[in-house]
Amino acid sequence: MHDTASGVFLRPPRAAAARGGAKDADRLQQTALAVALAFAVVGAGFLGKGLYIHAKAWAAQALIHRAWDARQAGEPAPRPWPWADTHPVARLRVPELAVDQIVLAGATGRTLAFGPAQLDGTARAGNAGATVLTGHRDTHFAFLRRLDPGMTVDVETPDGGRHRYRVVERAVVHRDQAALPPETADGDAWLVLATCWPFDAVDPGTPWRYLVTAKMM
What's the topology of domain 51-216? Sortase; Chain: A; (2.40.260)
pLDDT-wise least confident of 18-27, 74-83, 132-141: 18-27
Chain centroid, CA 75 distance in Å:
30
Domain boundaries, the chain: 51-216
d(CA 28, CA 37): 14
Tell me which residue of 215, 214, 194, 198 sits closest to 206, measured CA to CA. 198
Q: What is the pLDDT of residues 163-201, one digit of tens each?
A: 999 999 999 999 888 777 666 667 899 999 999 999 988
pLDDT (0 to 100) of residue 187: 81
Q: What is the pLDDT of residues 108-133, one digit of tens each?
A: 998 999 999 999 999 999 999 999 99
Binning pLDDT at 50, 70 and 90, where does residue 39 land?
very low
Identity at 155, one-letter amino acid code: V
